[in-house]
Amino acid sequence: MIPEIRYHAILAQAPITEVSTIINNQRTRLVKCDRIMFFRPLAQTSVVPLVETPTEIVSAPKDTPPAGTLPTVALLDGYPMQNHDLLAGRLIVDDPDGWEHTYRAGERCHGTSMASLIIHGELGKGEKPLGRPIYVRPILRPDPEDFVSYPREECIPRDCLPVDLIHRAVKRILDGDGTAPASAPSVCFINLSVGDRNRPFHRSVSPWARLLDWLSEKYGILFLVSAGNHPEPIALEVDCKDYNGLFPDDLETQVLRSIAGNIRSRRILSPGEAINPLTIGAFHSDTSDGTPSGNIVDPFVTPDLPSPVSGLGLGYNRSIKPDVLFPGGRQTYRKRLSLSGPAVLETVRATSRPPGLKVAAPGPNPGQTSYTCYTRGTSNSAALATRTAALLYDNLLDLVSLYGEDDLPGDLLPVLVKALIVHGSSIPELGYRLFQSVLMDSHNKIKFREYVSRFYGYGIVDSSRLFECTQQRVTLIGCNSIKADEGHVYSVPLPPCLSGSKVSRRLIITLAWFSPINPANLRYRVASLWFDPPREQFGVERQGADHNAMRRGTVQHDILEGSSALAYVDGTAMEIKVNCREDGGTLRGGAVRYGIVVTLEVPEFLKLPLYEEVRERIRPMVRVTM
């Protein structure tokens, strides 16, 4: 029982005859109502691997995190291969339930690949590994009733309630377990690349999602959750006999229309509808050299499209979900063998070649510790987002050491990282135009930006924009706590080089927060934060996601562009006011953590000294209004 999320559950096993008797009894009618969820079957929350068989050997970097370095990332997943050359000395595995012995050699797949992506990123890119170890708590183990697959499917065991298991795991990390102290109190980010494939989001927030929302606000930590995979076959409009005559762009159109036509069956999976975590979808990309051949096809030719297996939004109260997309690997398909009827593409799950994201993997035989494989899906995307969060956090700690905690309090850094990750996202122009030409119709035309957000969320994250500025791009960050009916006003100095100039300019503002929740209220979200962008002050108009949809969650991400001439004197500043009001309940005097990120930029070829002019005039000051 967890009263804070209105969760009461009993895990029981009963003969089917007894269950039928209770269900058919008229006296049990009251407890069969949807709010009580009488006898909801326990899902086998699992990970269906979209992976390749291990074929390559890799040499590992020699440097490992210094002894005593504290983890900031926790991975709740399968048991990893601790002695893999790429992971040795980089993991802190905490296995209080003793699940290690349930794995056979070669079955530690998902936890190994997730740890590899968090620590090293996509191996094909040759990025520097994290300078900290990651904490790993196994929540999956091989299904003992899977007699078909090898490796067996990894799942949350049948004798565990997922909500209870995750609650105990997070409590052990941050508070301690019984008399034992907290196992990793330095953790700020928790990766959860697991979902309930039997519970796609539909109207109500699941107990699992409510748990993540509550824990996120209680501890001030950021969960990064995968949107979920949908590897189901894709039925095309074209007949089998005409399939081979399709050009690549025709196939792309057919696949997009099929996915859009079946969007109700491809929703994000629980707990991806949670409002405080970042829900990470996948886009169809990797750096591998593999090109499909034979009867295997890549369904997309346009770059940076959402992955055809990625779970789709919207979220609760039609908020934007997934939040953002990270690379998930290029998913390939093959045509189902049939001579008549509509052509059907089936997911390719196992070959010996790329494409996909290259990750660490168990070898085919015990003792082989240097193998890699190629994998695809939203689990990959969530792992890469977690890696980005860890790197951003360390960058922020460098700023704290320079400027002190007065401007960047340590307990607010996770929510600031949440804002930063979304801040680097945008919907690619090519993808948006393709969606317009293929999917726009009379039903979605008026709210087409909201419709596109079902696939892209706020867009694809360009991590390179998050770690450094240029002379033509300046980014300002801030974080604070705000109470109901308060307003925090941020002043952003306008650079003199833009005064009187008709130059293209862009303003990006991102606000993210951790809201308390009220599961007893249909509005659910207790704290509503927002800002009104200074469009007239900077001569710009909205170009990003639907402005109504972005007000329904816990992130507001506005992208504004313009080129009209502005006349102002040196010393003029535009003001951005962060507002807070109660929404689905009472804040009871509590303050809401938030982070805000603002970027001003002009095209690089203009060579305007935007960064220097703003830096010289910036005054780190927040004015509080009521």
Q: What's the domain range around 17? A: 3-32
H or E element in which residue 120 lies: helix 110-120
Predicted local distance difference test score (pLDDT) of residue 101: 92
CA nearest 216: which of 407, 394, 428, 5?
5
Indicate yes or no: pTM above 0.85: yes
CA nearest 233: which of 376, 345, 337?
345
Report the b/e string of 115-135 with b at 16+ CB within 10 A: bbbbbbbbbbeeeebbebbbb
Residue 453 within any structural domain of the chain: no
Measured CA to CA in angstroms, residue 389 lies from 189, 422, 473, 512, 620 at distances of: 7, 11, 21, 14, 24
Please check whether residues 520 and 589 belong to one and the same domain.
yes
Please check whether residues 388 and 504 belong to one and the same domain.
no
Please check whether residues 81 and 23 belong to one and the same domain.
no
Please check whether residues 322 and 385 belong to one and the same domain.
yes
Predicted local distance difference test score (pLDDT) of residue 43: 44
Residue 405 within any structural domain of the chain: no
Residue 604 within any structural domain of the chain: yes
99: pLDDT strictly greater than 90: yes
The residue to which tokens 């890119």 are assigned = 125
Residue 434 within any structural domain of the chain: no
Residue 350 within any structural domain of the chain: yes
Residue 328 within any structural domain of the chain: yes
Residue 126 sits in a domain whose CATH number is: 3.40.50.200
Predicted local distance difference test score (pLDDT) of residue 39: 46
Domain count, the chain: 3
Picking from 364, 392, 420, the residue at the C-terminal end of a domain is 392
How many Cβ atoms from other residues are within 10 Å of residue 103's Cβ? 23
Mean pLDDT along residues 43-67: 64
Report the b/e string of 395-425 with b at 16+ CB within 10 A: ebeeebeeeeeeebeeebbbbbbbbbbbbbb
543: pLDDT strictly greater than 60: yes
Please check whether residues 9 and 105 belong to one and the same domain.
no
Predicted local distance difference test score (pLDDT) of residue 47: 56
CA nearest 377: which of 76, 52, 153, 53?
52
Mean pLDDT along residues 596-619: 91
Predicted local distance difference test score (pLDDT) of residue 102: 92
Please check whether residues 384 and 345 belong to one and the same domain.
yes
Please check whether residues 59 and 27 belong to one and the same domain.
no
- Where residue 625 falls among pLDDT bands split at 50, 70, 90? low
CA nearest 460: which of 318, 274, 322?
322
50-54, 466-470, 506-510, range with the lowest pLDDT? 50-54
Please check whether residues 14 and 112 belong to one and the same domain.
no
How many Cβ atoms from other residues are within 10 Å of residue 293's Cβ? 8
Radius of gyration of the chain (CA): 25
* E strands in 41-106: 46-47, 56-57, 73-77, 91-93
Please check whether residues 13 and 54 belong to one and the same domain.
no
Residue 445 within any structural domain of the chain: no
Residue 289 within any structural domain of the chain: yes
Please check whether residues 19 and 52 belong to one and the same domain.
no
Residue 547 sits in a domain whose CATH number is: 2.60.120
The answer to whether the beta carbons of residues 114 and 381 sit under 8 Å apart is: no
The residue to which tokens 């908020």 are assigned = 319
**Token pair recorded at residue 196:** 């309930």
Please check whether residues 379 and 496 belong to one and the same domain.
no
Picking from 392, 424, 458, the residue at the C-terminal end of a domain is 392
Please check whether residues 235 and 313 belong to one and the same domain.
yes
